[in-house]
């Protein structure tokens, strides 16, 4: 059991989070600014009772009910990322929404495979809530220990982006900038709420993922990272993909790759060199799961996306086990897991957030098609024949089952690249 200091959460819950926070608390309590910073980031291993008492006096003067102190300053770290999400009263799944605007009557839709992944994640979250035990209940009020945590509200929200049905691989600048601005505002709003966040789909269809990664790794969103690739993953687009600018992707391979590069996802290994995970028709595909957890306020955000829709769909069968084994104690000196299989921990960044990046390398086997599936595939191919890009996409979407999936943790690389 890992006990966390939740000072940041208390300050936010009671409207005390403001500019100059560390200096203000240090002045009011007489403690060093460095000590207050450690409290805010859950970085204090052995805080003294005298310091805790000063913080309680300060919080009581600022309006925190005295009967909640010092209990509300502490919480129990969840056993995994799904358990951390299930503790929140509100969980929001964000999916990219296609806006087909170059037609007399615009159409709006969500990719079928992204929607299937969202449904699976919703089931996992509800199961995680049902399986939660006393360790998943915060020590906020003494009487809470005998009460059952309410079932979280799970919502879906959509991140719209303009989609051109004529198969063009470039975007209208005005429409693109409008979509970027809208998704940026969505990121700012979700940060203000007491909720867990799950982003589904790559940055090509869910612009909120681009903002999330840029914010996490301190890059400029929708701009090529020319400063040495702070983000240890990179998506090299196919020729027929919409070439939207990105801080961790593009039509060209990442810098440092020599020779012919294949479209797919690249990741940095412990030796800081790029490793290729190509997306190969009928054979291999790759997906990514990114997790950011802040022990100071128990906030958590997860991004799940495949290089293709097929990869996103293929990941869903492995997400339950991954989320239970992607444990939240810091990567430094992790305890041994009681479950079989590899344990993927998260690496602590300088600002206190625990960050994990996991690569899902999948091998596919083609599924034999029934007459119904053949008819359905023929209809999709006929409908897509007007556009080379859509025709190729229809071919890639033929049924296939994941034969094998290897999950690679990038804990060491996250720390080495100084992501914050």
CA atoms within 13 A on the CB side of 310: 25
pLDDT in tens, 286-322: 999 999 888 877 889 999 999 988 899 989 889 988 8
* Joined tokens for residue 345: 């921990």
pLDDT for the residue 174? 81
* Joined tokens for residue 126: 């509800």
* C-alpha to C-alpha distance for 193 and 220, rounded to whole angstroms: 24
Per mean pLDDT, which range of 240-244, 276-280, 410-414 is the poorest?
Answer: 410-414
Q: What is the pTM of this model?
A: 0.79
Does residue 131 surpass a pLDDT of 70? Answer: no
Which neighbouring-strand residues pair with 292? Answer: 301, 355
pLDDT for the residue 207? 94
pLDDT for the residue 71? 86
Chain mean pLDDT for the chain = 77
Instruction: Kindly report the CATH class assigned to 3-75.
Output: mainly alpha
User: CA nearest 207: which of 254, 157, 252, 276?
Assistant: 157
Domain residue ranges in the chain: 3-75, 77-416
pLDDT for the residue 91? 94
Mean pLDDT of 49-75: 90
Burial class (CB in 10 A: 0-12, 13-18, 19+), 353: buried
Top-confidence residue, 418 or 182: 182
pLDDT for the residue 100? 77
């Amino acid at each position: 059991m890992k006990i966390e200091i939740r000072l940041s959460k208390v300050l936010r819950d009671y409207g005390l989070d403001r500019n100059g926070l560390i200096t203000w608390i240090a002045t009011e309590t007489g403690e060093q600014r460095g000590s207050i910073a450690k409290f805010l980031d859950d970085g204090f291993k052995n805080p003294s009772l005298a310091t805790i008492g000063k913080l309680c006096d300060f919080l009581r003067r600022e309006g925190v009910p005295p009967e909640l102190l010092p209990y509300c300053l502490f919480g129990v770290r969840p056993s995994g990322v799904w358990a951390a999400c299930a503790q929140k009263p509100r969980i929001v799944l964000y999916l990219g929404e296609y806006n087909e605007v170059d037609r007399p009557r615009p159409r709006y839709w969500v990719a079928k495979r992204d929607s299937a992944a969202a449904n699976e994640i919703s089931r996992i979250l509800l199961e995680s809530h049902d399986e939660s035990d006393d360790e998943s209940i915060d020590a906020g009020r003494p009487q809470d220990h005998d009460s059952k945590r309410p079932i979280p509200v799970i919502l879906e929200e959509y991140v719209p982006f303009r989609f051109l049905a004529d198969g063009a691989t470039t975007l209208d600048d005005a429409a693109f900038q409008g979509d970027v601005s809208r998704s940026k505002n969505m990121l700012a709003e979700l940060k203000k709420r007491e909720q867990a966040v799950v982003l589904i789909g790559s940055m090509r269809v869910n612009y909120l993922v681009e903002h999330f990664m840029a914010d996490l790794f301190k890059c400029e969103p929708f701009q090529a990272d020319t400063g040495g690739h702070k983000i240890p993953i990179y998506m090299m687009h196919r020729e027929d993909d919409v070439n939207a600018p990105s801080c961790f992707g593009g039509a060209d391979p990442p810098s440092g790759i020599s020779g012919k590069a294949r479209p797919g996802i690249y990741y940095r290994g412990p030796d800081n060199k790029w490793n290729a995970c190509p997306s190969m028709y009928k054979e291999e595909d790759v997906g990514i799961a990114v997790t950011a957890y802040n022990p100071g306020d128990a906030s958590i955000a997860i991004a799940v996306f495949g290089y293709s829709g097929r990869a996103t769909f293929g990941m869903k069968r492995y997400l339950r086990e991954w989320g239970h084994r992607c444990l939240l104690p810091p990567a430094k000196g992790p305890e041994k897991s009681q479950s079989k299989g590899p344990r993927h921990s998260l690496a602590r960044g300088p600002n206190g957030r625990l960050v994990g990046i996991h690569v899902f390398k999948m091998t596919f086997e083609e599924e034999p098609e029934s007459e119904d599936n053949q008819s359905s595939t023929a209809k999709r191919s006929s409908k897509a024949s007007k556009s080379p890009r859509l025709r190729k996409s229809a071919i890639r979407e033929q049924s296939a089952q994941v034969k094998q999936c290897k999950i690679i943790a990038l804990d060491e690389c996250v720390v080495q690249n100084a992501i914050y």
